[in-house]
Structures are given as C-alpha cells and as structure tokens.
Amino acid sequence: MELRPSRRSVLAGLLGSSTAASLPGAAWAQATPRRGGSLIVAADSEPRNLNPAIVASNGVFYVASKVIEPLAEQSYDGNGLAPRLATAWHGSPDGRSVTFTLRPGVTWHDGRPFSSADVAFSALEVWKKLQNLGRVVFKDLEAVDTPDATTAVLRFAKPTPFQLIQNALPALTAVVPKHVYEGSDINANPANTRLIGTGPFRFVEHRPGQFYRLERNPNYWDSGKPYLDAIVYRVLPDPGAVAAAIEANQIQLAAFSSVPLADLARIGRVPGVAVVTKGYEGITYQLTVEINHRRKELADVRVRRAISHAIDRKFVVDTVFLGYAETATGPVPKFDKQFHTADVTTPGFDPRRAEALLDEAGYRRGGDGVRFKLRLLPAPFFEQTRQFGDYLRQALRAVGIDAEIVRNDTPGHLRAVYTDHAFDLTVGSPVYRNDPAISTTILYQGGLPPGVPFSNQYGYNDPQMNALIAKAAETVDAGERSRIYRDFQKLAGEQQPIIHVAEFTFISVTRDRLRNVANNPRWATSNWADAWLAS
C-alpha cells in the first residue's frame, strides 16, 4: 500500500544504485540475531502525555509502543494483522459484539498478571471516554463481558462494523493496567509519563530536553525477546543535528524523515548508512490547513475556497517534499481504493479566482493591499509543516491576506490549537489510518469538547456532515459504508472546512548495524521486540 508505486525507484535514482539494494531491512538479515546493545535513536519532540491509550498519535507511539501493547499490530502477512495481547478475535453478524481471546501468561512490568479485566477497564474508561480517536470509534460501546481471564467480549449499543474494529486494533487498543489507574484521575495519573505496560521494554527514565531510556523486560511473554538491552531516545529537535549524529554513528536510527529530504542523496552515500522507505505504509500523513471557523471571515465558505485557490499544491509537493508526496484532493488519500473518490470539487490553484471570491465576500484590499490579518500557527512536528507555513504566508499575501506566523513548541502548539483555540489558521499533519472513522471523521465531527488533540477544535459544526459521519459509523455493510464516505468527501470538498494539500509518508535513515528494520507497515510505531544490532 505504498503511496507512490514509483517512489522507491525515484529514491534509488537520487541516491545511486549502490544504495538501492539497502532499502529493505531484510537485505541485512543474518541467521542468528545478536543479543545485547543499546539502540540510540533520534526523537524530535517530547509529548507531555505518553499514554497511547489516551493520546493515539505517532509521536506518542514512537516511544510508548515499546512499553504498552495493543491487542493486535499491523502486518505485511496474512489478513494484515498480527496478534499481540489478543490471539484471536471475531465479530457477531449483527455488529453488536466482538469477542477477543487474550494471550495467557502475560504480566505487567510491576509483576501483576494481565487479564481481561485490564481490557475491559481500558476499553470502557479510557478508549471510550478519553482517547482522542477511540471516543469516536468506541462511542457506542456499552459493556465488556469478562467470562474468564483470557476472554473479553465488547458489546455495542448500536451496530458497529467489525471491519472498523479490526482496522482500529493497532492504533486504538493500547491496554493499560487497571490496578494502576482505577480510582484515580486517569488524565493526571503519573503512569502517563512513567509508563507501565506489558511490552518488550520497561520505561526507566526521562530527562527533559535530553533523552528517554527504555530497558529490556526480562519477563516478556515472547520468550527470548527483546534482543536489545535498551533503547535510548536522544532529543534532537534540529534536523541538522540528527543528520550529523547518524553520520557520526552517535545514533543508529532517524525515523519519520527527521533527516531533511534534501540531505538524502548525500547521506545515503555515507559508508554504513542505509536509507529505508518501507515501514510506513500504514501511516499516511496529510498536510492540511486547519481553519478556526469562529473567526467571522473564515466562517464564510467563499473565503475558505479562496484560501484553497491560493495554494499551488504541485509546487508544495515539488518544493517542500522534493517529490516525496502526492497532491491531495480531500480527506481520504488516493491510495485507499475502498473509500477514496475522485469525484470531489477541489479548488485548484487560481489566485485570480481567489481574489474574486474575497472581493465577493466583501473583503477588498485596503490602501496597503491587505484585506484582513490572520494568525498562522505551523505545527512544529516536521520540517515540512514548518516550511509549508512559510510558503502559505507568501501565498496568502499574494491574494491580500496578511498572515502572521506564530511558532510554538509541541506542547504550546497543542494547547493553542486544541484547548485555547488561539489561532486562525494552523498547518496540520493528521494521520490516515486505513478507515475514515478511525482518524479522519473526528476532524470534521462537530460538538467535541475542548482539549481533545488532533480532533475538530475548529468550530465547524455542520448537521449534514455530522449525519453522514454518524450513519457511516453504524453501517455494517461494507459497500454502503463506502458510498457514505464518498458523500462525506464530496461535502468536504464543497465546504472546505479543512484544506487538504498533500499526502505523504516517511523515510528512515539507519546505520546498517540495525536489523529487522521496517518489517511491518507501522514499524516506527511498533514494539521493536525483534530489532537487534549486529557487531
């Protein structure tokens, strides 16, 4: 499910044929994994809440997925899912229940046994009530039966598509210990930053601005794993410092395109360094302009369409992403053949039309050439979101909108956008997780409480859109769900509540000592139990 079929060949052309063979992690495999060693990787942010059961985001998963496990993980094999804390699952024909068989003999890092009670507590008290994405997917969950320690039956008040629940397992079902969280303020529990899980690594230490340290769990249920003694995440927010550190062999992995795309051709020729494009197929990002509809000018669809007309998407793909992206047409990426429709009215690059729409809306240029001023907050998550913020400021200025760029660190940005709503436009990078109901419709659904990150905190609340989202969420028939989501995309194209600019995934740069790289579609956000370092 690669974003571009030609992407790997394009990369090979940039890097030269000598490195093309080093792209798949399997090319470095040895017969017997080596035990021991500390894997040192780059981290460019420090989430204030590391609990993936509450905050389902890749910045959190990058660290927490090694400590806290989901019921299942994505896989290149079989039906696309690999068992983790659940070994089997099946749904009822009426869409009212899903039964999970849980893995026996699993213990938490504090020595207590894992059981169905932990799944029930996580599902009802955390995923359903608190999680940024789960509160939508599990909104109709009414009970979890636990007939024994290794069986959990999720029961829904309304029909809930089994396909949706399966698609949600890797990202939305991180299980936390009931005995640690029960009776506490879950959002304020210290275990949100000092994680306790069942995973292959134990959380040991976080020194702000310096590092996170995880150490091997000697009692991990998958006997003999993990192979590594420790994983250390060095906090390196500067992309130049990341590239220098991997060249100097001070780190062994830079994931999520943290090495600038412009440096790939050079760094790919460094002896002992490999460039890897696999391992992100299940994580497609979307470059977006997110709009505060509380602002009078932006509540006018003509103004939103004008902003969309002001953006040259092809220029953004070619210049910001150096071709490692696709132009976007709407909320469902093109690669998703089941749900995507091309029948969407997307405003193309047309500055003259943008100016005409702004005039029509009553916002004519003043003597200084400015129609009105806005606050623009580029997300600090990636170099590309920061660069696009600079481009967007220029594009808006060309049609008479003066956008002041406001830059924040990650906690400050999340608070400004999702809690305080202190923005007019923000550059976002939401993730599409293979089903619109998991991660995309939450950006359009109205009425969500403030403070939910990566959700609709934009003041957009359209009854027709809400009705489509609600209907799709309880439609069991797969064909009918696809039709509803096509209507959802068409309405989004007409109203432009969020402007979709590009679709992209990522590239990893590693030292070639690191083995079993990119062996599942969410590798950077998976458990790394089988990762190892060659001597």
Taking alpha carbons only, the member of 40, 41, 59, 33 closest to residue 430 is 59
> Residue 234 — pLDDT band, cuts 50, 70, 90?
very high
Confidence of residue 1 (pLDDT cuts 50, 70, 90): very low
Mean pLDDT computed over every residue of the chain? 91
The yes/no answer on whether domain 72-186 falls in CATH 3.90.76.10 is yes
Selected from 3.40.50.150, 3.40.1080.10, 2.60.40.420, 3.40.190.10, the CATH number assigned to the domain covering 7-50+199-281+506-533 reads: 3.40.190.10
pLDDT of 324 reads 82
Q: How many residues does the chain have?
A: 535
Of 133, 95, 99, 136, the residue nearest 119 (C-alpha): 99
Strands 86-91 and 97-102 turn out to be: antiparallel
pLDDT tens digits along 273-320: 999 988 988 888 899 999 999 999 999 999 999 999 999 999 999 999
Measured distance CA(526)–CA(278) in Å, rounded = 13
Q: What pairs with residue 504 in β-bridges?
A: 285
Alpha carbon separation from 397 to 86, 297, 379 (Å, rounded)? 53, 16, 20
89, 58, 57, 55: which is closest to 71 by C-alpha? 89
Q: Confidence class of residue 21 from pLDDT cuts 50, 70 and 90?
A: very low
Confidence (pLDDT) at 161: 92
Q: Are 35 and 216 in contact (CB under 8 A)?
A: no
Tens-place pLDDT, residues 414-424:
999 999 999 99
* Total-model pTM: 0.78
Tens of pLDDT, residues 190-223: 999 999 999 999 999 999 999 999 999 999 999 9
Instruction: Please say whether the structural domain 284-504 has been given the CATH code 3.10.105.10.
Output: yes
Phi, psi of 490 (to 5 degrees): -65, -45
Counts of helices then strands in the chain (DSSP H, E):
17, 22
Q: What is the DSSP string of 153-179?
A: EEEESS---HHHHHHHHHHH-----HH
- Residue spans of the domains in the chain: they are 7-50+199-281+506-533, 72-186, 284-504
Express each pLDDT in 89-128 by its tens digit: 999 999 999 999 999 999 999 999 999 999 999 999 999 9
Which DSSP helix (H) or strand (E) runs through 307? helix 301-309
Number of neighbouring beta carbons within 10 Å of residue 493:
20
* Pick from 534, 482, 528: nearest CA to 508: 528
Nearest to 252 by CA among 413, 94, 470, 28: 28
